[in-house]
Chain A
Amino acid sequence: MSEDGRRRLLIIERAYRGALETQFADVLYLARELNRQQGGTDILLRGLAVTYAAAGARPAPTVVAGGRTVDTLPDPRRSVRTLIEEGAVIWAEEDDIALFGTGPDWLLPGVRRGGPSNPLPAWSTYRGVYFL
């Protein structure tokens, strides 16, 4: 949080950014570090990135390269859970969630569904808005 108490908003719209070469160092790793530095931040997931906030468990993704199984691919659902535990406020854009035909239990507990009935704070109330 900044000196005047206002938080920053991080917006993540793009998913799938290179699982094999990125591994742990994905966009949520950056978000986690910014959340730590800033003592709490708001994060808005849009587009395909709303799937980061899905509650459903899934097998850990792996890729085999030669004789090696790489099991350290990004796990964004787990990362979102960690962010919530560390004090980040996670929003997921309602219109984009709707594209997946999801039910009310689709989102991880603690993730806020942002839309007309539950709008995000106005951007002008944030200290800054950043697209990651």
Chain B
Amino acid sequence: MDRRLPRADVLLAIMGPPHISDMVTSAVRLAQALLERGATVHIWTCGHATGLTSAALGDSKPRNVVNWSYDYPSGAALAAELLDAFPDRLSWYSCRFCTEERGSAPHIARIKQRPPFKFTEHLDAVDSALFLGVC
């Protein structure tokens, strides 16, 4: 196993794209529930899910034209919320190839890019790995 990877109880590998199903919502709920119970969690994003933490998103979604002054958090802001709340028990990785291929770079701070040919190290670093969707 790569010594740079901390061990974790669970890896949530978000392989499928956002905006197609409620997979990302489920992943966040699952991560939150695990972390609140004291578990350590790794999140890995592939494909278009790498765009969830793109710095280009900023902190807020574009304005809602029928609710102009309301602030709606971006995916990147919500990822930062999770990382802020559980700094010692959540690690967020993003596939370097997909990040570059899908135009997701640069990511917000604390998102660690990893090459896909190291992915098995991520599987070895956890007790349980859940794949959500397909690239």
Contact = CB atoms under 8 A, between A and B. Distances in A.
Bind each other = yes
A67 B61 CA distance: 19
Interface residues of B, number: 30
28 contacts: A16-B21, A17-B19, A17-B21, A18-B19, A18-B21, A18-B23, A19-B25, A21-B24, A21-B25, A22-B19, A23-B61, A23-B72, A24-B61, A24-B72, A25-B62, A33-B65, A63-B25, A63-B28, A63-B32, A65-B32, A66-B80, A66-B82, A66-B86, A67-B81, A67-B85, A70-B78, A72-B70, A73-B25
B2 interface: no
B120 interface: no
A72 B52 CA distance: 17
Interface of B: 18-25, 28-29, 32, 52, 61-62, 64-67, 70, 72-73, 75, 78, 80-86
A115 to B, nearest CB: 28
